[in-house]
Amino acid sequence: MRAVDAIIECLKAEGVDVVFGIPGGANLPTYDALYYGGIRHILCRHEQGAGHAAEGYAKASGRVGVALGTSGPGATNLVTPIADAMMDSVPTVFLTGQVRTELLGTDGFQEADISGITMPIVKHSFMVQDPREIPRVIHEAFHIARTGRPGPVVVDIPQDLSRADIPYEPVDSVRLPGYNPTTEGNAKQIRLAAKALANARRPVIYAGGGVVNADAARELVELATSDRFPVTCTLMGLGAFPAPHEQWLGMLGMHGTRTANYAMDEADLICAIGARFDDRITGKLSEFAPRAKFIHIDIDPAEISKNVPAHIPIVGDAKKILPKLTREYRALEADASRLDAWWQRIRGWQEKHPLRYEDSEDSEIKPQYMIEALYEATGGDAIVTSDVGQHQMWTAQYYHFKAPRRWINSGGLGTMGFGLPSALGAKVACPDETVVCVAGDGSLQMTSQELATCVSEEIPVKVFIMNNGYLGMVRQWQELFWDRRYSAVDMGTRPDWVKLAEAYGATGMRVADKSELVEAMRTALLTDGPVVVDVRVTREENCYPMIPVGEAARDMVG
């Protein structure tokens, strides 16, 4: 069969039911195969949108997301979602077309060395040089993307090779001798970790997105409740531990709760699970958790001791390690009363420093209230995607996620424009779920064309714009650290979001009165098809609390 038909067979064998992309000259053979192939293709309006849609699909479902692009600009437009997927460990496969083999290296029309361009931002990449390799390469790409620490894999296929006839035989298994991720965890290290937890007087469990990726949320709860261990999660880990739980401290980090950050600062033992101690968590690294010893559990050995030295490193899959750690800990029968004083201190912080804001006395909508209203309107039961900025942090603070894979955002790369396309991908992955996108008026303009995709493909996502007329987070920094010199942050009043939504064939709404907000949101959620709700909020509200850049957690402001 044609190599491209073999690609379709491989995708189906991998369980792929949908791909996102845009055709072009170099990947036309693949699109010809899709015409007959039985896999749903969603035509996005920009390759960046296709890449983020594949990420949203993967984050919501746990399955590998697939995006297609042609050569040259088609491939380079995928660079941002590839980098985003790398930073957030998203299992994705990007299939790019390439110019014919005789044109490679000649600067042919729409030629770009996408393998070289993306080398620092992929888990692995393949440049196909023999069409007979294609079935094996496709299966290896999926295996690499989903195993170990998940991540993006690029497969670049010259157009002439994709059209070649090849003998096709199904690939039953993948064996990569040089790629064998450690999953089980070292038994001795796990016992040491259990003893450290049993001896700790001020422990904190610090969980990251790796817990979500490992589908280990239930195992995390079992470990935490094997005693009264306080739990905090990163931005990417929200939902790994249920927010309403009595042992929940809230999110930690730059815009985390004072309770979570103060607990980390005073802890004598921190058990990090699937987290990487990035700068948004640690603040001033030299002053981070100065009293603590560290257990670090991670599938990626390169992350352990990269930023913070681990006293007890454990390499492996959290889903396999946590039950072992829980069993070892329970066998020790630790004295639960040793945590009484610690919890008394934590409860004191919670009472003194709850998340709070000064609500308006009139009809003005505060951005924090907008998220509270969304939580009420959805009953806290929605998949929520976001763009990047203040609205992202307020959503993380005030939408209390009860389960994993309900919060989809760009954490590591911080990609504006991520929200809408990731929402459409999440809705395709989970068609029976309510999917809402909390967008900023700045971020949404970067990928708003994907509203056309939502309408044409009948993907009924609901977009709620936190519209303050600013690039809000940048404005906040300019206010706090640049003496209010507002340089290039005023977004004005354009576009008219209601008219724009209607121009794309979606429903547009506008709300400026807080007394009408919850009901308007409920109406939007019940409206058929894609809906865009322009929520006019306070223009110059700041997102607090906040750890200033380069400061320690104990120096939070706001």
pLDDT digits (tens, 9 = 90+) for 103-129: 999 999 999 999 999 999 999 999 999
Q: How is 196-210 classified by DSSP, letter by letter?
A: HHHH-SSEEEEE-HH
Q: Stretch 494-523: mean pLDDT, rounded?
A: 98
- Strand duo 383-386 + 312-315: pairing: unpaired
| Cβ–Cβ < 8 Å for 254, 521 | no
Using H for helix, E for strand and C for coil, what is the string for 286-355? HHCCCCCEEEEEECCCCCCCCCCCCCEEEECCHHHHHHHHHHHHHHHCCCHHHHHHHHHHHHHHHHHCCC
Q: Stretch 446-462: mean pLDDT, rounded?
A: 98
Average pLDDT, the chain: 97
* pLDDT score of 558 more than 90: no
Helix/strand/coil for 95: strand
pLDDT in tens, 52-108: 999 999 999 999 999 999 999 999 999 999 999 999 999 999 999 999 999 999 999
Q: Which of 160, 152, 159, 163 is nearest to 78 (CA)?
A: 152
DSSP-derived secondary structure letter, 59: H
**Phi first, then psi: what are they for 90, rounded to 5°?**
-105, 125
Other CB atoms within 10 Å distance of the CB of residue 431: 10
Q: How far apart are CA 155 and CA 536, in angstroms?
A: 43
Q: Stretch 200-222: mean pLDDT, rounded?
A: 98
* pLDDT score of 35 more than 90: yes
State residue 494's pLDDT score: 93
Q: Which of 498, 541, 486 is nearest to 364 (CA)?
A: 541
Domains of the chain (ranges; CATH) run: 3-162 (3.40.50.970), 187-352 (3.40.50.1220), 367-536 (3.40.50.970)
Per-residue pLDDT band for 549 (boundaries 50, 70, 90) equals confident
Q: Stretch 216-243: mean pLDDT, rounded?
A: 98
State residue 295's pLDDT score: 98
Q: How far apart are CA 392 and CA 493, in angstroms?
A: 21
Q: Stretch 496-525: mean pLDDT, rounded?
A: 98
93 alpha-carbon distance from chain centroid: 16
* pLDDT score of 550 more than 90: no
pLDDT in tens, 298-329: 999 999 999 999 999 999 999 999 999 999 99
Residue 183's region, left for phi above 0, alpha for psi from -120 to 50, else beta, is: alpha
Q: Which of 357, 397, 393, 354 is nearest to 375 (CA)?
A: 397
Residue whose entry in the numeric block shows the structure tokens 């390759």? 47
325 alpha-carbon distance from chain centroid: 27
**Phi first, then psi: what are they for 295, rounded to 5°?**
-95, 130
Q: Which of 551, 556, 548, 554 is nearest to 477 (CA)?
A: 548
Q: How far apart are CA 299 and CA 315, in angstroms?
A: 5
- Percentage of the chain modeled with pLDDT above 90: 97
Q: How far apart are CA 535 and CA 524, in angstroms?
A: 12
State residue 37's pLDDT score: 82
Q: Stretch 231-238: mean pLDDT, rounded?
A: 98
State residue 56's pLDDT score: 98
**Range in 56-65, 248-257, 397-406, 545-554 the model is least confident about:** 545-554
* pLDDT score of 466 more than 90: yes
